[in-house]
Amino acid sequence: MRIGFIQSAPLEDDPEGNAKTLLLDIKKIVSKKPDIILIPEFFLGGSKLMAFRQKLAAIYARTLDSLKTLARDYHVGIYGSLLEKSGPKYYNTAVLIGPNGDELARYRKIHLFHHNAEHKLVAAGATPTLVDTPWGKCALLICYDLRFPELLRGLTLQGAQFALICAQWPAARADHWLTLIKARAIENQVFVFAANRIGEKRESVFPGLSSVVGPWGECLLQMGKQKSGLCTVNLSEGTRVREMFPVLNDAILWHK
């Protein structure tokens, strides 16, 4: 499985410009034949524009259609989160697009970041999401979810082979980002593919550091602030690690 990363730096006041830049960046990386491309959480920007969230949600919806077309044209999966309007509520929703341009799953962020008042801007999701993909069973997470080990553990016990994470994780807590990605991979013996943004947003600076960590805790990719990156993994390594060191058997017994 070949994973591509786009580390975008969306401007808060130009979602349409952000969309054009993102689509161009994806067109550049598809020539390297990734199976899936990960893009950051709220890849067109978000929080300052929440006062205009109905317009912003509409721009996200149009961009999602364009991403589906790109996925179909280049036979590549895409994963990232957007602002979704559903009835009177808005959600931070991750969408996984399959390589045929179809929507494989949506996941509404469960753990909202109260420290930054995210709960005042969007509603919380309630459903952990495990999805069958062309590459295997996949757990979907968004940013702050990474701090809550029970979410990925539950999905692992249901059969997840890898996790996709999109984030806007600041440089001030970069050590936490790297440590938690590694911890989630080791404790669940799964691959963790985690995409973060670069650039600045008001008082926050974002470091990139999109990463891939394998089921034995080995760091297979750790980006800096470059705009794109690639990593190739053998997903069967997860099976080998679990057979060699079957700690999840004890976790399953405990949960029973």
Q: Which run of H or E residues covers position 6?
A: strand 2-6
Closest by Cα among 11, 78, 40 to 167: 40
Left if phi > 0, otherwise alpha if psi is -120 to 50, otherwise beta: which for 199?
left
Closest by Cα among 192, 185, 222 to 207: 222
Verify whether residue 33 is a known catalytic residue.
Answer: no
Q: What is the pLDDT of residue 48?
A: 67
Per 3-state DSSP, what percentage of the chain is helix, strand, and coil (rounded to 5)? 40, 30, 30
Least confident of 95-99, 184-188, 198-202: 198-202
Confidence of residue 120 (pLDDT cuts 50, 70, 90): confident
Q: Indicate whether 20 pLDDT > 90.
A: yes
Is residue 155 within 8 Å of 137, Cβ to Cβ? no
Residue carrying structure tokens 């349409």: 16
Mean pLDDT of the chain: 95
Q: What is the pLDDT of residue 73?
A: 98
Q: Which residue has the higher pLDDT, 203 or 245?
A: 245
Verify whether residue 41 is a known catalytic residue.
Answer: yes
Number of Cβ atoms within 10 Å of the Cβ of 100: 12
CA–CA separation, 149 vs 183, rounded Å?
Answer: 9
Catalytic member of 84, 118, 138, 143: 143
248 token code pair = 């999840």
CA–CA separation, 46 vs 27, rounded Å?
Answer: 23
Verify whether residue 143 is a known catalytic residue.
Answer: yes
Catalytic member of 41, 68, 166, 201: 41
pLDDT in tens, 124-147: 999 999 999 999 999 999 999 999
Backbone angles phi, psi at 99, to 5 degrees: -70, -5
Determine the 3-state secondary structure of 81 from DSSP.
Answer: strand
pLDDT in tens, 155-164: 999 999 999 9
Q: Indicate whether 196 pLDDT > 80.
A: yes
Q: What is the pLDDT of residue 233?
A: 98
Closest by Cα among 118, 126, 36, 111 to 83: 118
Confidence of residue 115 (pLDDT cuts 50, 70, 90): confident
Amino acid (1-letter code) at residue 54 = Q
Quote the pTM value: 0.96
Closest by Cα among 116, 123, 176 to 146: 176
CA–CA separation, 221 vs 211, rounded Å?
Answer: 5
pLDDT in tens, 204-241: 999 999 999 999 999 999 999 999 999 999 999 999 99
CA–CA separation, 167 vs 147, rounded Å?
Answer: 12
Residue carrying structure tokens 């994963």: 79
In the chain, the percentage of residues whose pLDDT exceeds 70 is: 96
Catalytic member of 68, 84, 109, 231: 109
CA–CA separation, 239 vs 11, rounded Å?
Answer: 41
Q: What is the pLDDT of residue 195?
A: 98
